[in-house]
Amino acid sequence: MKADEWAAIAAVASCASAVVALSAVLVAGWFARQQVIAAGKQVDAALKQVEESRKLREEQSQPNVVIFVEKNPAVSKALELVVKNFGTTPAYNVELTFDPKPQVSPHAVGDTEIEDLWYPDEIPFLAPGQEWRTLWDLSHHRFEHASLPSRHEAKATYADSSEKGYTTNSVLDWESLRGTESIIIKTVHDIAKLTEKQNEMHKEISQHLAAFRVPNAGVWTYTSDGKEEALRRSAEAGESRDRLRRLSGRLTGDGTGQAPTPIDDQTAAPHSTESQSTEQA
């Protein structure tokens, strides 16, 4: 082969090598770019996790005041308005807002007119887990008044120790209770009521037992038979008559203070008959 042919072959080989090298560079650049993109995604994911962790820590370390309604554990038909701090830090200057304002049926307050429910304009402090509650209304009375609103929009506005403000919205709806049923659970309150009732019964029994100290009062039980009891009572009655006779004798005597001799009923009748016969003769 001639020299110029070898030169051409060498040039072609050089070009091919350059193309292969360029392809290798391009492929390496593409892989490097993919690695950079993947690394960027990993960085973004890490930053997002850091941000979420920061928000979670903030949420866990902040107050969380919620307004809600809850059935009374002792009376299932009684609904209570509750303001509670579910957070892990104290809540300050808790303000309550309702739309419309909560109202109470007449039966619940012993009046004939619907009244507004009282609640504080501001609760200065709520510790973690602390709550404020009050009786709102009785469901079986409230549903008798169609003019009372059922749905209420509630909002709690409060701050943490650094005076950072928070707001929690909630919905209070009486219709969610309509038609519901509850299981009666006995609590310490029921035990206290039962104990109070038993104390009243014991007091009444004690009063009846105290009556036994007074003669002819209460219920008396005798262990002797009826004949002996009749004889005893007859003797007591005789003694009572003798005392009355002696007292009568002192009152009607001749002033000596001596009672006249009692006259037996069996001897008095013949004596009277004899005297009457003499007068007739």
Q: So what's the pLDDT on residue 93?
A: 95
Residue 211, CB-side half-sphere exposure with 13 Å CA sphere: 10
65-177 CATH fold: Immunoglobulin-like (2.60.40)
Q: How far is CA 51 from the centre of its chain?
A: 42
Q: DSSP assignment, residue 146?
A: T
Q: So what's the pLDDT on residue 276?
A: 38
Radius of gyration in angstroms for the set of CA atoms belonging to the chain, rounded to a whole number: 52
CA–CA separation, 72 and 75 (whole Å): 5
CA–CA separation, 63 and 158 (whole Å): 8
**Residues 200-255 pLDDT 10s:** 888 888 877 776 666 665 566 666 667 777 788 888 888 888 888 888 888 776 44
H-helix or E-strand spanning residue 105: none
Q: So what's the pLDDT on residue 120?
A: 93
Structure token digits, residue 19: 């193309």
Q: So what's the pLDDT on residue 185?
A: 74
Lateral strand order in the sheet of 65-71: 65-71, 78-85, 131-138
Residue ranges of the alpha helices (H) in 61-125? 106-109
Q: So what's the pLDDT on residue 273?
A: 39
Q: So what's the pLDDT on residue 184?
A: 72
Q: For the chain, which residues make up each domain, given as ranges?
A: 1-60, 65-177, 186-221, 224-254
CB 106 within 8 A of CB 114: yes
Structure token digits, residue 134: 């009050």
Q: So what's the pLDDT on residue 105?
A: 86
CB 177 within 8 A of CB 201: no
Say if strands 65-71 and 78-85 run parallel, antiparallel, or are unpaired. antiparallel
Nearest one of 67, 57, 124 to 90, comparing CA atoms: 124
Measure CA of the first residue to CA of the last residue in the chain; give whole Å: 210
Alpha-carbon distance values, 45 to 49, 56, 151, 214 (Å)? 6, 16, 42, 93
Q: So what's the pLDDT on residue 237?
A: 87
pLDDT by residue for the chain (281 residues), tens only, comes to: 556 665 666 666 677 676 667 677 777 777 777 788 888 888 888 888 887 877 777 767 799 999 999 988 778 788 899 999 999 999 999 999 999 999 988 864 556 788 899 999 899 999 999 999 999 988 877 888 878 888 999 999 999 988 999 999 999 988 877 777 777 777 787 788 889 889 988 888 887 777 666 666 556 666 666 777 778 888 888 888 888 888 888 877 644 444 455 444 444 344 443 333 333 33
Q: So what's the pLDDT on residue 212?
A: 67
